[in-house]
């Protein structure tokens, strides 16, 4: 599976010549990833994660964002369900409790889509 995505925050740290050449982070969907600093979401009561994403195929549960999944099962992420284009925004608050927001969107393969997921006091939304 190959999922391509663009993370706007990464551009803030790139020098200008790199911006002119390439603004896409191309991940192979297998072993490639971007590692965020530990504790990025600690203490937050609200968060928004957004990206431009392009799926090349619907490999099982491919995801364009996941953060956490430590030994305490505190994690959040966005993937598609199994081999369909139905998106899932999930938050594990512990090993026994997961909140999932599924959204059937008819996402196209091979086209860039802007996606955003928000969580906070008012719940979860895409």
Q: What is the pTM of this model?
A: 0.67
Cβ–Cβ under 8 Å, residues 69 and 88: no
Q: How buried is residue 16: exposed, middle or buried, by Cβ count under 10 Å (0-12/13-18/19+)?
A: exposed
pLDDT in tens, 51-87: 888 888 888 888 888 887 566 667 788 888 888 888 8
Give the pLDDT mean for 41-51.
85
Residues 6+ apart with CB under 8 A from 117: 48, 49, 50, 65, 78, 89, 101, 124, 125, 126
Count of the separate structural domains present in the chain: 1
Range of the domain at 51: 3-125
Enumerate the β-bridge partners of residue 67. 76
SS3 (DSSP) at 21: helix
Cβ–Cβ under 8 Å, residues 19 and 11: yes
Q: Mean pLDDT over all residues of the chain?
A: 76
pLDDT in tens, 103-126: 887 788 999 889 899 988 888 888
């Amino acid at each position: 599976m190959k999922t391509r995505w663009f993370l706007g925050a990464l551009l803030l740290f790139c020098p200008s010549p790199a911006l002119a050449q390439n603004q896409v982070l191309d991940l192979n969907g297998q072993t490639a990833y971007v590692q965020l600093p530990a504790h990025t979401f600690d203490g937050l009561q609200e968060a928004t994660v957004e990206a431009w994403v392009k799926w090349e195929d619907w490999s099982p549960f491919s995801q364009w964002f996941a953060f956490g999944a430590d030994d305490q099962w505190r994690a959040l992420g966005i993937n598609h369900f199994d081999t369909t284009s139905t998106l899932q925004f999930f938050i594990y608050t512990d090993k026994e409790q997961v909140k999932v927001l599924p959204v059937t969107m008819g996402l196209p393969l091979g086209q860039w889509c802007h996606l955003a997921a928000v969580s906070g006091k008012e719940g979860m939304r895409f």
